[in-house]
Chain A
């Protein structure tokens, strides 16, 4: 499988060339264009019960798509996330990575994408009760609205909840108010996530809620 992320940070998209017999798994509705003779199968996202849980509690789609090349030559496929923004590829080698719901785009064979309880803190922050757990061996593509910025955490750091995209399992999350009660309410920051531990977090430089907050007052009626 040959892949390349194109389009820069503004509009990342992934060009994929599948060799005969290869398969790639993507988020639902991720295909923008493809060779006409690739096969598409929709799979329940991790079994029916889990799939339903995921859809209603984790903010993920019920189905995921598998594109397979059953021809005898290489075939092209282009996939993209629903929002503009940066996409990153991680090479998994038996380690684990947590993704915020909605960040997952695609993975190669050998990668396991599961769902884990993220605790009630996550619910209060309107991010869903679950987080995606990516493990196994292979490539994973994930992305978010805005550019992705990596940060090494050693100790404590505060991140606006809507800007968190991915984090290593060594990093723990805790919710807190951004300031005092008055500030948190009128200052527009509300609840923020306090991250603790030693490891990498990935944040997005824009957020959909920030965009909506900017547009909403401008609607005339």
Chain B
């Protein structure tokens, strides 16, 4: 019997917004919008291989319904095409989206192939100003979450508090503890709300390394390795800006937050960022803490120390600085009554 391969062309129907189509696509396949975006970047790409005509039509109908252009090719003719595209979805599309009986870990249950979608299923709401992430944990999976950030959860999630420590966390005022939530006896969801008003970003680490400003960490899956990177005396300590970085590596999901909106900057030569506005950066960039301008500027410019990046890579910056907010909030603090 002839089988068919369903491919998306990467084109979006002219009646549909690209963002909406990708969001709907993500929902259909129970993947994150970021993962959906990546798939579209790789298009044309096969998303379902070797299915019968009826199933292929079902896929086509669902995709066209959300404004995603696609074609079904008879597998016999698609062989050459497919050979160059290893990527195949293992998930069945949740054609009736209301029907939530599909297993959240359907992705993990089937053998992984290269380029396949990995990581937990999640949605981000309230973005870009108050990003709130809801993560679907498959049964017996664990997520590590910054202390106090849990806002909602299913009753079958079990919380364990672990000592995390680290001089960086102590210096920047982060809790010395971190919470681990495990879905027991079935899958479950957890809603996470960082303290800072701003956006939430997600990166799926596949053996890359990202440096994050210490207080930007929100949550990660179990296999992401998070280490405090001591900045040394010259780079961070004396700047008064507490530039403590954490080094995130390994394989898995990583969520981080910003104060304000996030801007991505491609550094090609050198770029200067206020230390309070650094969210994170990729490996391969060199940086040093310097003062801005002359000494007059150091004291009166309000900029103090800045971070000068050089080399090639990406820097994520946030549109608001924590120090300025702290300075503003100071005047609203209740005054301690001294009895002595």
Which positions in A face B, CB cutoff 8 Å? 8-10, 84-86, 146-147, 149, 151, 156-160, 163, 178-179, 182-183, 186-189, 194, 203, 205-207, 210-220
Which of B125, B158, B215 has the most A CB atoms < 10 Å from its CB? B125
User: Which residues 194-211 in B have Cβ within 8 Å of A in the complex?
Assistant: 194-197
- A149-B132, A186-B161 given as contacts; is B326 within 8 A of A218 (CB)? yes
Shortest Cβ distance from A193 into B: residue: B152
| Distance A91 CA – B147 CA, assembled complex (angstroms) | 38
From B152, B154, B215, A160 is in contact (CB under 8 Å) with B152
Q: Which of A147, A187, A194 contacts B159 (CB 8 A)?
A: A187
> CA separation between A157 and B189, bound complex, in Å?
10
Question: A160–B125 Cα gap in the complex (Å)?
Answer: 17
List, in ascending order, chain A residues with CB within 8 A of B130's CB: 9-10, 85-86, 146-147, 205-206
Given the complex, which residues of A lie within 8 Å of B131, measured CB to CB? 205
Tell me the complex Cα distance, A218–B161, Å: 23
B174: Cβ under 8 A from any A Cβ: yes
Interfacial chain B residues near A216, Cβ < 8 Å: 173
**How far is B147's CA from A84's CA once the two chains are assembled, in angstroms?**
24
Q: Assuming A179-B159, A205-B125, what are 4 further A-B pairs, CB within 8 angstroms?
A: A147-B125, A147-B130, A214-B196, A216-B173
A206-B130, A219-B333 given as contacts; is B152 within 8 A of A183 (CB)? Answer: no
Q: Flag if B326 contacts A219 (CB, 8 Å).
A: yes
Query: Max chain B CB contacts within 10 Å: which of A9, A206, A213?
Result: A206
Quote the shortest CB–CB distance from A16 to chain B (angstroms). Answer: 24
- Chain A interface secondary structure, helix, strand, loop or mixed? mixed
With contact pairs A160-B152, A182-B161, A216-B173 given, residues A9 and B129 touching in the complex (Cβ less than 8 Å): yes
Q: Does B77 contact A (CB under 8 A)?
A: no
In the assembly, what is the distance between CA of A73 and CA of B329, in Å?
Answer: 42
Which residue among A86, A157, A188 has the maximum number of chain B CB atoms within 10 Å of its CB? A188
B160 at the interface (CB under 8 A from A): yes
Q: Is the CB of A187 within 8 A of B173?
A: no
A219 to B322, CA, bound (A): 11
Query: Contacting A189 at CB < 8 Å: which of B125, B154, B179, B194?
Result: B179
C-alpha gap A211/B38 in the complex (Å): 33
Does the CB pair A188–B329 fall under 8 Å? Answer: no
User: Which residue in B125, B160, B325 is a CB contact (below 8 Å) of A149?
Assistant: B125
Q: Which residues of A contact B194 (CB under 8 A)?
A: 210, 214
* Residues in chain B within 8 A of chain A (CB atoms): 125-126, 129-132, 147-155, 157-161, 172-175, 177, 179, 191, 193-197, 215, 322-323, 325-326, 329-330, 333
Q: Which 7 pairs across A and B sit closest by C-beta, in order of nearness?
A: A217-B173, A214-B195, A147-B126, A188-B148, A205-B132, A179-B159, A188-B147
Chain A residue nearest to B169 in the complex (CB): A217
Assess the B160–A179 pair: CB atoms within 8 A.
Answer: yes
Q: Which residues of A contact B195 (CB under 8 A)?
A: 206, 210-215
Pair A207/B152 contact, Cβ less than 8 Å: no
Contacts of A156 in B (CB 8 A): 155
Bound Cα distance A135, B336 (Å): 42
Contacting residues, chain A, for B174 (C-beta < 8 A): 217
* B173: chain A residues within 8 A (beta carbon): 216-218
Decide if B152 touches A157 in the complex (CB within 8 Å).
Answer: yes
A194–B155 CB distance below 8 A: yes
Which residue in A85, A163, A182, A187 is a CB contact (below 8 Å) of B147?
A: A187
A85 to B197, CA, bound (A): 10
B118 CB to closest chain A CB, in angstroms? 26
What residues on B are CB-neighbors of A178 within 8 Å? 150, 159
20 cross-chain CB contacts under 8 A:
A149-B125, A151-B152, A156-B155, A158-B153, A158-B154, A158-B157, A160-B152, A179-B179, A186-B147, A186-B161, A187-B159, A189-B150, A203-B151, A205-B193, A206-B197, A215-B195, A215-B325, A218-B322, A218-B323, A219-B329
Q: Is the CB of B151 within 8 A of A188?
A: no
- Which of chain B's residues have a CB closer than 8 A to the CB of A188? 147-148, 175, 177, 179
Residues of B within 8 A of A9 (CB): 126, 129-130
| Minimum CB distance partner of B129 in chain A | A10
A219 to B329 CA separation, bound complex (whole angstroms): 9
B196 proximity list for chain A (CB < 8 A): 211, 214
List residues of chain A with CB within 8 A of the CB of B215: 214
Chain B residue with minimal CB distance to A149? B125
Q: Return A219 CB to nearest CB of chain B, in Å.
A: 6
Chain B residues whose C-beta falls within 8 Å of the C-beta of A84 in the assembled complex:
197
Contact between A205 and B151, CB atoms less than 8 A apart:
yes
When distances are taken between beta carbons in the complex, the residues of chain B under 8 Å from A85 are: 130
The reply to whether A206 and B193 form a contact with Cβ atoms under 8 Å apart is yes
**A189 and B325: CB pair below 8 A?**
no
